[in-house]
Amino acid sequence: MLLFELTLLLLLVAVLLAALARRLEEGALGLAARLPVLREAVSAHLIRTTSRRNGLIGAAVFIPGVDFPILTFNQVRLVLRLAIAHGEELDRTRAFELAGVVGAGFGFRTLARQVLDFVPFAGWAVKGAIAYTGTRAIGEAAVRYFDARTDGAAAEAPSGPGPTLSGNGPEVTP
């Protein structure tokens, strides 16, 4: 019975965090940077909304090439917002990460063109699906990247002065 109650409690917490992320929108970014428990819900919300938006743009824009700058802008914005949610500084070092996003955008655009050669009908659906999936993939990759950086920084961070047998902190007698 205890396991069921604990599972129910964890599910309730996950639902509340997701609702908070949706409700706060942009305000959730800074909060997620300071509260790691909120990061997953905020990241999932950002990825979901940006992927949907790009999927609709990919499906709705019929003039070849017009959608690429819009899709890429949204993907770059997604990665920057995920960086903020993970407590990363926005500085010149982000340029290399953003170059990867633009490169991935070119790759997804090439994929869409190749698939459209084989599927001449319903091209709008193919373009929308690739825009959605590509944006989702970029977002998920960015979350894994920033999670690894955050975990690595936490492992390398000094624990600060604390109880030690000898050294900087207060002495503890064994």
Q: What is the pTM of this model?
A: 0.74
Q: Looking at the domain assignment, is residue 2 inside a domain?
A: no
**Burial status of residue 85 (CB atoms within 10 A of its CB: 0-12, 13-18, 19 or more):** buried
d(CA 11, CA 30): 24
The C-alpha angle 24, 25, 26, rounded to 5 degrees, equals: 105
Q: Give the type of residue at 82.
A: L
Which residues on adjacent β-strands are paired with residue 171? 164
Quote the domain boundaries for residue 92.
40-152
Q: Looking at the domain assignment, is residue 94 inside a domain?
A: yes
Q: Looking at the domain assignment, is residue 47 inside a domain?
A: yes
Distance separating the N- and C-terminal Cα atoms of the chain: 42
How many domains does one find in the chain? 1
Q: Looking at the domain assignment, is residue 28 inside a domain?
A: no
In tens, the pLDDT along 130-155 reads: 999 999 999 999 999 999 987 766 65
Q: Looking at the domain assignment, is residue 113 inside a domain?
A: yes
In tens, the pLDDT along 56-89 reads: 998 888 777 788 899 999 999 999 999 999 999 8
Q: Looking at the domain assignment, is residue 161 inside a domain?
A: no
What is the rounded average pLDDT of the residues 8-30? 70
Q: Looking at the domain assignment, is residue 172 inside a domain?
A: no
